[in-house]
Structure 1
């Protein structure tokens, strides 16, 4: 085998290895990354685009991922940067989804109503409290992982999580009191 054929075979093997690694990454983490994107962006269509850009960047820089265990954090970091780039490129006319009232024909069940109320309550939290809470509850990150993700001290993250839960409890209590007064 000549040197040129050996190099070609080596490049081909490297590409196949990279492709398998990438496919495994997408298969394992796409749903979590998409769920986080929808929460962060609050628009499913834009979230799909940002997730696609995220995985494209991940493919391009896959060799920089040294620790497979850190893949989810790595992808979320890429996603957050991609989302920020959206605003650098173009300013959108946005309507705050929390200010829009739309009747949900499927929300007849008490658990649907509770979930909707909980989502609204979480949306009322300041970003500093909401983001760590979502990263912990929805994405399953630990305090240390959230601290690394948000570039914060772990104690700051734990304080924000505590305050987020306290504020959430207060909002939910006030909402149920208001609902009882209206319905009662």
Structure 2
């Protein structure tokens, strides 16, 4: 691919997907700086492998897959680093902090979900991905994704109902 053509194609990807990639990364990290780094690493890797993207219609799924893999790498590096030395935790500010109790309860309940349920739910509800797009990102059958989404909602409902009873 010619350099100017590749530059233009890459710029279109960045303009079209950077904000929602950031929101998705923030769900993983709960930290502005880490989310920004994760998105930057995602786009760096996307640049290197841009020729592999054949269908522009699958760009969102392709970028999401890259982001998930970069997050796994980041997590592994962090885990190894923390094993070597204890790091000071720096509190971070929320992106769109909503102090309403129901919003905080929902965020807390979602964070308690196992990743195999939480990640597809975030893609579906917050990012508007279709079942087919989510299936492509996770390399799973469509029915498996539908089942995980159903179970995620059940678990959320159970957690929120239990929390509501604890408050009463």
TM superposition score normalised by structure 1: 0.76
Structure 1: which 5+ residue stretches go unaligned? 1-10, 98-104
Asked if residue 54 in structure 1 is aligned to residue 54 in structure 2, the reply is no
Q: Which of these residues, 156, 160, 165, is aligned with residue 172 of structure 1? A: 160
How far residue 69 of structure 1 moved from its aligned partner, in angstroms, is 0.9
How far residue 43 of structure 1 moved from its aligned partner, in angstroms, is 2.5
**Structure 2 match to 1:146:** 134
Asked if residue 118 in structure 1 is aligned to residue 106 in structure 2, the reply is yes
User: How big is each residue's C-alpha offset from its partner over 1:105-141, in whole Å with a ceiling of 9 and x where there is no partner?
Assistant: 973xxxx221111101111112221111111111211
Between structure 1 and structure 2, the one with the greater Rg is 1
User: How big is each residue's C-alpha offset from its partner over 1:42-89, in whole Å with a ceiling of 9 and x where there is no partner?
Assistant: 322122112111111111221211111111111111111212222444
- Distance in structure 2 (CA, Å) of the matches to 1:171 and 1:88: 29
SS in 2 for 1:169: helix
Q: Aligned pairs, how many?
A: 156
- Distance in structure 2 (CA, Å) of the matches to 1:84 and 1:122: 19
Label 1:145 to 1:117 Cα distance change in 2 as closer, same or farther (>3 A). Answer: same
**Structure 2 match to 1:128:** 116
How far residue 30 of structure 1 moved from its aligned partner, in angstroms, is 0.1
- Distance in structure 2 (CA, Å) of the matches to 1:140 and 1:106: 20
- Report matched runs for 1:1-184 at 5 Å: 14-90=2-78, 91-93=80-82, 107=99, 112-180=100-168
How far residue 40 of structure 1 moved from its aligned partner, in angstroms, is 1.7
TM superposition score normalised by structure 2: 0.83
